[in-house]
Amino acid sequence: MTAAPPTLAVAVAMLLAIGTLRGGIVNIAKYVSLAGVPPYGYVFWLSAVAAVLLNLAAAMRGRVMPLSLPYLRYYAVCAALGVVFPNGLFMYVVKYVAAGSMAVVMTTVPLLTYFFALLMRMEPLNALRAAGIVTGFAGAAIMAWPAPGQSSELSYFLLLGFLCPAAYSMTSIFASRARLASKDPMLLACGTLTAAAVLALPVALALGQMHPLWSSPGLPELLIVGHGVLTATVYTLFFSLVKIAGPVFYSQSTYVIAITGIGWGMLIFDETHGVAFWVATAFILCGLTLVNRQQRSVFNAA
């Protein structure tokens, strides 16, 4: 049997690592949130840790994030819309929703990105991809619909959770349309995460949600730092994977995120899921397949 080319083997390993880590991050967030760590204090620390690590990695390569006005504006918008708001909301919602469910919810980013791109006339209407949106939205509706005997409160939190991928999608579209002299993804990530920490700090203080890591250090505090380290790691793997295999190949990580997120939830929180959940997940993943199948690119300018 002929061995796989080294580049393909490395790309597949990176893909699996990204999906597994991101699926695990969902469960870390649930554990830390259930431990009582407030959302925006959590967002501040994970953003700050990831920002420090990425900026150090960039500096070691002799690169520094640009600080001119257009870049500062870009960092602020991406940080607010793509980090602080959705991550704060995620930390709140995941306390009430199964980690596996939230992992599946987060895979809808490509569906929503194409949907918003259609609304903004950034992408032409494609029948196959449009069918993917309909299929994915049907899955979301099935997942959010209360099961017999289930409280409607869970459906409320699940629907609220869909605002997270919606915000990430809008951030992606904003990033693709930004007019910047250079779009080095690593430096833009450095700037965005630095801005996220700067923005999250006053929000956490104003809401009384600041969480000093040193006051009573324990497992939740260790996991917060670990979450920041994993975030920086995932970003680094993302840049490397896109460089060697392209964004379409990277998009397949959504399937791994769903599978590992569900698996971690079952292992750590002993989560169980009914038939409706598995049907909804199948619909959403089928929708993703249809949308990704003819992925062209809202991100050509990025």
Res 197: pLDDT: 97
Nearest to 235 by CA among 55, 87, 40: 55
Res 180: pLDDT: 84
Q: How many whole angstroms from its chain centre is CA 16?
A: 16
pLDDT in tens, 98-132: 999 999 999 888 888 888 888 888 888 888 888 98
Question: What is the CB neighbour count within 10 angstroms for residue 187?
Answer: 18
Q: Report, as an integer, the average pLDDT of 136-160.
A: 81
Give me the phi and psi of 155, to 5 degrees please.
Answer: -65, -40
Q: Is the pLDDT of residue 277 over 60?
A: yes
pTM: predicted TM-score of the whole model, two decimal places: 0.87
Structure tokens at 231: 């975030």
Q: Is the distance from CB of 71 to CB of 180 less than 8 angstroms?
A: yes
- Residue owning tokens 């809008």: 170
Mean pLDDT for all residues in the chain: 87
Res 177: pLDDT: 83
Q: Report, as an integer, the average pLDDT of 10-38.
A: 91
- Residue owning tokens 């209407």: 125
Q: How many whole angstroms from its chain centre is CA 151?
A: 27
